[in-house]
Amino acid sequence: MSFFSKAGEQDKWKEKYFNLLDEQEQSEVSHKKSEDSYKEKEDLLCKTIVRLTIATTGLDPLLDPHLLGIRDQLKNGINSQTLKNELEKFTTSVAQIKHTPPDQSPEAELLFDFLLQQYNTETQQNSLKLLKNKTETAKFETPNQLFIAILEAIEPDGDTSAPNSIANHIDIGIVSRQLLLLLEGIEIPSIFDQQAQTAKQLLAAPNQSATAFETILEKSFQLLLKIKQHNQSEQQDIDKFLSHITEQLAALDVSVMGASTAAIESAENRSRLDQSVSEQMEKLQLSSTNATKLEPLKGLINSRLATIAIEIKEHTQKEAIQRQKTQQQLDDLVNKIKDMESESSDLKSKLKIANNQALRDTLTGLPNRNAYNERLETELSRWKRYNSPLSLVVWDIDHFKNINDSYGHKAGDKVLLLIAKQLSDHSRATDFISRFGGEEFTMLLPNTDSQSALIVANQLRQTIEKTGFNASGASVAITISCGITEFILNDTDETAFDRADQALYQAKEQGRNRCCIL
């Protein structure tokens, strides 16, 4: 009786063991599902935070480093303490931001501060303070109205109602020349070429009346405003594209992080399987050592082997699902990278076109003043390093204004094109030619002293003199003068250009169609 009782007791403990084993396996499956769900939510949270940091980048320079730090932190997963520290720094920076009232104008503040320092009578001070308060609560429709109000505050007894009252307070010639230099110096988009040419002609016209000058001034300001708005629009397009690229890069970071996490999980699953199989084998070995009967041992072995087979099958299925998921992530990465390569290629082409437009004169196709400044910086560095001679030539078309006045600006444009072509076709490969502005051209001659530069310049001058040009059926003589200088010790770009400009002035004074050295 005791034998059977002992066998029954063993069966009972065996049944309890298998029940506990089943409960443990179910618990592991449930825990795994919970971990997968938590991981998916964590990935979604990371992506959401990354996109929010991208969307807010650029709102304030003080916040940008912290936003970048948060993004970098999330690439390695969520570390609660580190992320908490980053968020606390971010909160501190947000509290330090100073918000400027939308109606406050720093330029107006500076203007009135200057005026209050210059005009210190009691009447002027009171009038200017009242006007300053008015500008803070309301805006003038045009700058002209603000200027008239300022004149009234400064000179309350003056006649500001007359049309020429503003012109009486400024030198029209100086303002016109400065505006003309401004229009010559900035890069004007091709869509504004005609308006810019008209504005330049009006500013260059002599003996302007006060009324006409105000109209010219208004047109010039409107043109500059349009150019600014156009450039801002182009910059916004580039900023949007770069923001899009940044967002895609952030998405790639998250995808790579997901693929890396999947690989880690796969390695952990294999490790758990190896550990489980080892434990089962150890228990089998222990059971066989302690076994006293064959049949119970056979059943136990079969049960253990079945459990191992189930675990291997489940692991194989999970591995297949994980491989499929990882492969999908890699395919998504490849597609995203291809899209980014395509978009980057488009951006590169757009930037190349924009750079060419920024460094090229739209009429002649020659390098413009910006390109000249860039090349001059390079040549100056080479000149200082190797101590090789470097010469500068400043060209100016003779009687160009008379050609414009007599035959029209289309004829003037043809002359500019003709001169540009002759200078390009008959100069050396090492020379750098640019349209400096208006009817002025410049040449940089590396490894060339002033006497050699004079020989090159006279050859070009004679070639242009022999070039025929017809306008409105009449033969028009074209000549050109130049000033030459060689860079010397302690020279800057400005000192050398001033000497070349003075030499050009001498050439004009001596009868034009000649080259002078200074």
Provide the b/e sequence for 118-147 (b: ≥16 CB within 10 Å): ebeeeebeebbeebbeebeeeeeeeeeebb
List the strands of the sheet with 390-397, edge to edge.
Answer: 432-437, 440-446, 390-397, 480-486, 515-517
The residue written with tokens 């110096």 in the block is 185
3-state secondary structure of 487: coil
Catalytic residue among 379, 439, 440, 494: 439
SS3 per-residue string spanning 39-99: HHHHHHHHHHHHHHHHHHCCCCCCCHHHHHHHHHHHHCCCCHHHHHHHHHHHHHHHHHCCC
DSSP state of 392: E
The dihedral formed by the CA atoms of 349, 354, 359 and 363, expressed in degrees to the nearest 10: 110
Cα separation, 384 vs 471, in Å, equals 46
439 included as an active-site residue: yes
Cα separation, 477 vs 465, in Å, equals 7
Q: Are 87 and 49 within 8 A, CB to CB? A: no
Specify burial of residue 421 (Cβ count, 10 A radius: 0-12, 13-18, 19+). middle
Q: Are 360 and 371 within 8 A, CB to CB? A: yes
Cα separation, 464 vs 359, in Å, equals 25
311: tokens are: 């675990």
Active site residues: 439
